[in-house]
Amino acid sequence: MTERIEVDLAVAGGGACGVMTALRASENPDVVVAVFEKSTREGCNADVSSGSLAAGGTRLQREAGIEDSPQRHCDDIIGNSGDESLRDLVMALCEVAPRYVDWIGDVLGYPLEVGTDMPRKGMSVPRLHADPQRRGGGPLMSFLRAELARRDNVAFVDEAPVRRLLVEPDPDQPGQQRVVGFEAEQNGTLIEVRAGTTVVATDGFANNPELMARFASSLGTPFYGGVSTSTGDSIAWLEPLGAQWTHMEACLRHGQVTLGHGTRVNPALPWAGAVLVNSEGERFVDEQAHGYSGLAGRIQAQPGERALMVWDEQAMEETMTSEMMRESLTAGAISRAEDVADLARRTGIAQETLERSLQPIEGRRAQRGRLHHTWLTHGVLTTQGGALVDTQWRLVRADGSTVSGLRVGGGSAVGTAGPRSEGYSSGSGLMAAMGAGWIMGEQVAKGA
Ligand SMILES: Cc1cc2nc3c(=O)[nH]c(=O)nc-3n(C[C@H](O)[C@H](O)[C@H](O)COP(=O)(O)OP(=O)(O)OC[C@H]3O[C@@H](n4cnc5c(N)ncnc54)[C@H](O)[C@@H]3O)c2cc1C
């Protein structure tokens, strides 16, 4: 049996990008929106994320005396990625980021502050925004979904995965296909959803071993820290339409995943003085020289693909605000040693090697007193490669034309990291998702 419905906007995926698209489009009460979500029970990556929203030029920054702008944000991202080819796309995201962060905080009323305690590689001023308790992305997504539920012109259909796109010959582009909706499935019933605009917002493919082997095999077999729903369903839908896969090897990796527990420690730890040594006790990296995504590759290259992170009480106090530290402590992933001799006993690393490695490098402070420590490994959180899109998130074919009726956002489209995982700038995953959603939704609301 097939049910049929017709809407103005059909969204595949109810995570960060899909929800923002629907919120923005439904600001126009005449626009009818349907979001089809695979499973909120399984969750989206935004739910399990830290919920850190990167934006340059927000009201909160201005009030905190932080001078920032979309241009500076964009320059920082390109500085990290080294990829000029996507500057227009990155700039378009940076331009809308302060608008939706202000909107979430000031208009919708979600509590946000600028994380001045969240230094990150290549971030020239504090620009991550999060709730004061650092509760992570779950409460933020619940809040945004609740806002969506209040809108009469939106249907959010859960436990209803999209199976395929509906396509037909495009009368305006002879020989090409256009998208006119999708087919979803709920409780064994097929639902044909026809729409003026169809948005694909089903995230990437990090939880699909075959696609990871096809596109990102150099990552080896990392810990996977994302949700089960990231199976790259959109790859099979977009490939026949002429998708140009871009920067597919790049991922949001994490080099601060606790070994055997799968929690993460606060990415600010290196800036608070934490030191990394490998299992032979050798300090193999300047901890501040890489973001957490870049650090993953350095840890992958160490014996046993692991490293010991060590930090003192002062660093602990400075970084305890993060939900990642609370989760790691609860999981029993962080241990404490009385001194270096005790650390050597607990880790099996020679004391004299540890003493040498824990010496501060130039410009850094010495570790003092009791030493907290955890074994870390590398993980993958999300993919960053995806379909090439233009600055309105339309799918671009090899000949430069775009597919009518379709927009592709969030982790289904190419991200901002550039060709390598090292290029990922903190806060860019949610920005690529929410920023694209804001832009796509606004276009639909305006009837563009
Ligand atoms: C542990 C972790 C921490 C992170 N922390 C941050 C952070 O602090 N800041 C930041 O900017 N980024 C962070 N990220 C990255 C960020 O979460 C993602 O980049 C972002 O959520 C991508 O948004 P999206 O809408 O594309 O995907 P998602 O938020 O994952 O949403 C995709 C949705 O599509 C649904 N879906 C999938 N297939 C189908 C289908 N066939 N039919 C219907 N629905 C489907 C999924 O169920 C899901 O609900 C983190 C990621 C992880 C895993």
- Whether 48 lines ligand 1, by a CB cut-off of 6 Å, is yes
Q: What is the mean pLDDT of the chain?
A: 97
3-class secondary structure per residue, the chain:
CEEEEEEEEEEECCCHHHHHHHHHHCCCCCCCEEEECCCCCCCCHHHHCCCCEECCCCHHHHHCCCCCCHHHHHHHHHHHHCCHHHHHHHHHHHHHHHHHHHHHHHHCCCCCEECCCCCCCCCCCCCEEECCCCCCHHHHHHHHHHHHHCCCCEEEECCCCEEEEEEEECCCCCCCEEEEEEEEEECCEEEEEEEEEEEECCCCCCCCHHHHHHHCHHHCCCEECCCCCCCCHHHHHHHHHCCCEECCCCEEEEEEEECCCCCECCCCHHHHCCEEECCCCCCCCCCCCCCHHHHHHHHHCCHHHEEEEEEEHHHHHHHCCCHHHHHHHHCCCCEEECCHHHHHHHHCCCHHHHHHHCCCCCCCCCCCCCEEEEEEEEEEEEECCEECECCCCCEECCCCCECCCEEECHHHECCCCCCCHHHCCCCHHHHHHHHHHHHHHHHHHCCC
Q: What pTM was estimated for this model as a whole? A: 0.96
Summarize the confidence of residues 256-278 as an average pLDDT. 96
- Whether 203 lines ligand 1, by a CB cut-off of 6 Å, is yes
Q: Give the ligand 1 atom nearest the CA of 162.
A: 42
Is the model's pLDDT at 156 over the cut of 90? yes
- Whether 379 lines ligand 1, by a CB cut-off of 6 Å, is no
- To test the ligand 1 pocket, which listed residue (202, 224, 254, 328) has its Cβ within 8 A of the most ligand atoms? 202
Distance from residue 337's CA to the centre of ligand 1 (Å): 37
Q: Give the ligand 1 atom nearest the CA of 230.
A: 37
Summarize the confidence of residues 174-193 as an average pLDDT. 97
Rg for the chain, CA atoms, rounded? 22
Is the model's pLDDT at 2 over the cut of 90? no
- To test the ligand 1 pocket, which listed residue (38, 182, 203) has its Cβ within 8 A of the most ligand atoms? 203
pLDDT above 90 covers a percentage of the chain that reads: 97
Distance from residue 313's CA to the centre of ligand 1 (Å): 34
Summarize the confidence of residues 393-411 as an average pLDDT. 98
CA nearest ligand 1 atom 15, residue = 429
Euclidean distance between CA atoms 337 and 369, whole angstroms:
9
* pLDDT for the residue 412: 98
Euclidean distance between CA atoms 56 and 427, whole angstroms:
11
Q: Give the ligand 1 atom nearest the CA of 202.
A: 34
- Whether 246 lines ligand 1, by a CB cut-off of 6 Å, is no
Distance from residue 13's CA to the centre of ligand 1 (Å): 9
Confidence category of residue 289, pLDDT binned at 50, 70, 90 = very high
* pLDDT for the residue 1: 79
- Whether 383 lines ligand 1, by a CB cut-off of 6 Å, is no
Distance from residue 15's CA to the centre of ligand 1 (Å): 6
- To test the ligand 1 pocket, which listed residue (49, 123, 183, 200) has its Cβ within 8 A of the most ligand atoms? 49
CATH class of this structure's domain 2-205+385-445 = alpha beta
Summarize the confidence of residues 45-68 as an average pLDDT. 98
- To test the ligand 1 pocket, which listed residue (20, 37, 45) has its Cβ within 8 A of the most ligand atoms? 45
Tens of pLDDT, residues 6-28: 999 999 999 999 999 999 999 99
Q: What distance, in Å, lies between the first and last C-alpha atoms of the chain? A: 34
- To test the ligand 1 pocket, which listed residue (20, 39, 44) has its Cβ within 8 A of the most ligand atoms? 44
Tens of pLDDT, residues 232-253: 999 999 999 999 999 999 999 9
Beta bridge partners of 240: none
Is the model's pLDDT at 448 over the cut of 90? no
Is the model's pLDDT at 219 over the cut of 90? yes
Distance from residue 142's CA to the centre of ligand 1 (Å): 14
Spans of all domains in the chain: 2-205+385-445, 252-380
Question: What CATH number is given for 252-380 in this structure?
Answer: 3.90.700.10
